[in-house]
Amino acid sequence: MTSSVMGASGASTRAPVRSRFTPASLTPRLRPVIVPILGLALWEIAARTGLADPRFLPTLEAIAVRGVKEFSENGLTSDLAASLARDLLGFVAGASIGVALGLALGFSRLLERLLSPLLLAHRQIALFAWVPLISMWFGGGEAGKVVFIALAAFQPALTNTWQGVAGIPKIYRELSRVLTFSGWDFAVVIALPGALPGIFTGLHAALIYAWTATVGAELLLDIAPGIGGRMNEGQHLFHIDLLFLCVFLLGLLGVAFNLFAGALERRLMSWRHS
Amino acid sequence: MSSGQSTDVIENPGRPSGVPCRFWRGFGRVGGLAQGLVVPAALLIAWGLSANLGWLPEQILPPPSEVFGALRETMNDGTLLSSTLTSLRRVAEGFLAGAVLGLAFGFVTGASRLAESLVAPLFLTLSQVPTLGWIPILILFVGIDESLKVLIIGWAAFIPVALNTAQGVRDVPRAFLELGRVLSLSRWSTLRSIILPSAVPSIFSGLREGLANSWQTLVVVELIASFEGLGYLMAYGRQLFQLELVLAAMIVVGLIGLSINLLLSLIESHLQRWNPGRQS
């Protein structure tokens, strides 16, 4: 969602160029990187000249060195793998239940009437308010973490699938009746393709929620191998370079997740436009 | 699986007709509300039964009476009220700060392509880090006082407000802007009478998402680092293995979530009335 938001061009009120050396005269290609580069340069200068306390603002070099060390010696790779495995497990469990239940709710008015108040009530409770309960029911170990991640993925998958099915034009439903489609044919020919955009939106959101929940579960529940565990370590030992490194990795992974989901969506949905 | 027989197929062709229709149809006459209460009521009864018959230990599921007892007790000794007020104040402060800055940022990046191309990529990259991923680093920077909560909650609100405001401003139909130029409106009146009305729906959905994010983030930050508030009440109940306290706090969190949503729907319908010719 985010990339398309900023990618769309309105081009309505462009600042007039007055002198030759305004930022506007930078080549458009250079513009996106100029602010980050300036920021990083200021950071480096502040860190090197002692303007900022190095305990709080380590040099970029120190962070890079830490990164190399963490990856080569301290097993950050396996921490990342542990987090991603947890994330994937919870995502698959939660999203598949969410999509299945969403389809069922979209097909069956009865089921919708029976369950929607409960699901609506469930949606009011902030996701992380479940953490204490889940940790008491499933423990703070692996099971509790995965259950929490699954819960996080469940809600958006459910809501969007449900809306996707509900949004199928009524005329299609009538058409399927005229053509005397069986329930199965209706599901395969009309309902699933019609609900697909909703399902993908839901899965994309579920992916992001699950990742947030992974980091949250690792910060809040028992310490275990994982990127959240390393962040806890960095906080308690005051290793700020480790924390910056982790935040950097979190951002990188977030971008990767979005690119991956976007590419998959385009690929799977391409038949719709062609 | 053929659906040609029952009468409600037009409404619901996807349902296999093997379902005993007469029973369910009679059931349907009771009305949607009654049906909606069936499952919650059944769950509540099952909960009460299992607690009273001792199927589940109290550490796993305390009886409903104890949860309501905990609610009453915390209400009487004032902890519930003060925790709720603390949490609400934090959300209000963080959300206000984040929303105001997000609106300003969104307007600037939405109106100026130059500003957008300079700062949007950095902002988008930063927004990819899960909000709570910033908490450990911020704790080292600002400690666990109120400023931590305002910063984190504010950032959670800032992201959607900025994104949606920018989009709303960017998507103002060009013809409207040209009209404004033809009428030689001042910058201020262009903003007030053309850009703002056209961007309101988008801005509002940004504010809505921002408030929801703020509320979510409040719970996280209170669970991680605080000594008061609803999240702390839950963390405290968990540490003492007082599940009834945890559940009571969850009920309050849910009720507040519900009121926030109801309030937003009210405002939204009001705004739509005010702006009937909106473009979506």
Residue B177 Cα, gap to closest chain A Cα (Å): 8
> Count of alpha carbons within 13 Å of A246, Cβ hemisphere only?
30
**Which of A129-138, A177-186, B150-159, B201-210 is predicted with the least confidence, judged by mean pLDDT?**
A177-186
Question: Hey, what amino acid is at A207?
Answer: L
Which H/E stretch holds residue B149?
helix B146-170
Q: Which residue(s) pair with A182 in the sheet?
A: B2
Residue A238: closest CA among A36, A76, A62, A55: A55
Distances (CA, A) of A23 to A12, A13, A31, A159, B118: 18, 16, 8, 44, 9
Mean pLDDT of A77-99: 95
Measure the CA dihedral A157/A162/A168/A171, to 10°: 170
Q: Which of A15-29, A127-141, A197-211, B71-85 is predicted least confidently? A: A15-29
Residue B216 neighbours by CB under 8 Å, 6+ apart: A126, A127, A128, B156
- CA A41 to CA B89: how far, in whole Å? 38
The mean pLDDT of A183-206, rounded to a whole number, is 85
User: Percent helix, strand, coil in chain A (nearest 5)?
Assistant: 80, 0, 20
pLDDT of residue A146: 96
Q: How many CB pairs under 8 A join A and B?
A: 234
B231 and A15 within 8 Å at the Cβ level: the answer is no
Tokens linked to B167: 């989009």
Q: Are A157 and A203 in contact (CB under 8 A)?
A: yes
Q: Is there a domain that residue A74 lies in? A: no
Per-residue pLDDT tens for A137-192?
Answer: 998 899 999 999 999 999 999 999 998 888 888 888 788 888 888 777 877 888 78
Q: Given A113, A232, A247, which is nearest B129 (Cβ)?
A: A247
Q: Which residue of A87, A109, A248 to mutate against B (max B Cβ within 10 Å)?
A: A109
Closest-CA residue in chain B for A5?
B167
CA distance B42 to B83: 31
Domain coverage including residue A240: 82-269
| CA distance to partner chain B, nearest, from residue A272 (Å) | 22
Looking at residue A138, its pLDDT comes to: 92
- Nearest chain B residue (CA) to A251: B129
C-alpha torsion A166→A172→A178→A183, nearest 10: -50
Check residue A224 and give its pLDDT: 86
Amino acid B17: pLDDT: 39
Contact B68, B199 (CB under 8 A): no
Q: Is the pLDDT of residue A242 over 60?
A: yes
Question: Does any CB of chain A come closer than 8 Å to the CB of residue B162?
Answer: no
Residue B2's DSSP bridge partners are A182
What integer is the mean pLDDT of A110-128?
Answer: 87
Residue A65 near residue A59 (C-beta atoms within 8 A)? no
Nearest to B90 by CA among B147, B164, B175, B155: B147
The 10s digit of each residue's pLDDT in B203-256 is: 999 999 999 999 999 999 999 888 889 999 999 998 888 889 999 999 999 999
Element (H, E) at B19: none
Q: Which residue has the higher pLDDT, B9 or A247?
A: A247
Overall average pLDDT of the B185-205 stretch: 86
Q: What is the Cβ-side half-sphere exposure of residue B75, based on CA atoms within 13 angstroms?
A: 9
Question: Which of B6, B105, B125, B152 best tests the A interface by mutation, with the highest count of A CBs <10 A?
Answer: B125
Residue A271: its pLDDT value, please?
64
Chain A residue nearest residue B242, CA to CA: A136
Could you say which DSSP state residue B229 is in?
S
Question: Residue A27 — φ and ψ, nearest 5°?
Answer: -65, 140
Three state DSSP letters for A24-68? HHCCCCCHHHHHHHHHHHHHHHHHHHCCCCCCCCCCHHHHHHHHH
CATH of B70-274, one of 3.90.1280.10, 1.10.3720.10, 3.20.20.140, 1.50.10.10: 1.10.3720.10
pLDDT at B22 over 60: no
Is residue B178 over pLDDT 50? yes
pLDDT at B1: 36
CA distance B227 to B231: 9
pLDDT at residue A9, rounded to an integer: 40
Contact A129 B136 (CB under 8 A): no
Q: Read off the pLDDT band of B15 (50, 70, 90).
A: very low
Across the range A206-225, mean pLDDT stands at 92
Q: Is A15 within 8 Å of A31 (Cβ atoms)?
A: no
Name the CA dihedral angle for A255, A259, A265, A270, rounded to a multiple of 10 degrees.
Answer: 160
pLDDT at A267: 81
Residue A4: closest C-alpha in chain B: B167
pLDDT of residue B35: 76
8 Å CB contact between B247 and B67: yes
The residue type at A219: L
User: Which chain A positions have a beta carbon within 8 Å of B131's beta carbon?
Assistant: 212
How many domains does one find in chain A?
A: 1
How many H helices and E strands in chain A?
12, 0
The answer to whether B231 contacts A129, with C-beta atoms less than 8 Å apart, is yes
Q: Indicate the length of chain A as a whole number.
A: 274
- Contact flag B124-A6 (C-beta cutoff 8 Å): yes
Q: Please check whether residue B172 touches A, CB under 8 A.
A: yes
Within-domain flag for A36: no
Q: What is the mean pLDDT of residues B51-77?
A: 85
For residue A125, give Cα distances in angstroms to A131, A172, A264, B65: 11, 36, 31, 21
For position A114, which CATH number holds? 1.10.3720.10
Of the CA atoms within 13 Å of residue A182, those in its CB half-sphere come to: 5
pLDDT of residue A31: 79
Buried b (16+ CB within 10 A) or exposed e, B136-168: bbbbbeeeeeeebbbbbbbbbbbbbbbbbbbbb
Would you tell me how many other CB atoms lie within 10 Å of the CB of residue B270?
10
* Interface contact B36-A114, CB threshold 8 A: yes
Domain ranges of chain B: 7-62, 70-274
pLDDT band for position A22 (50/70/90)? low
B59 compared with B16, residue with greater pLDDT: B59
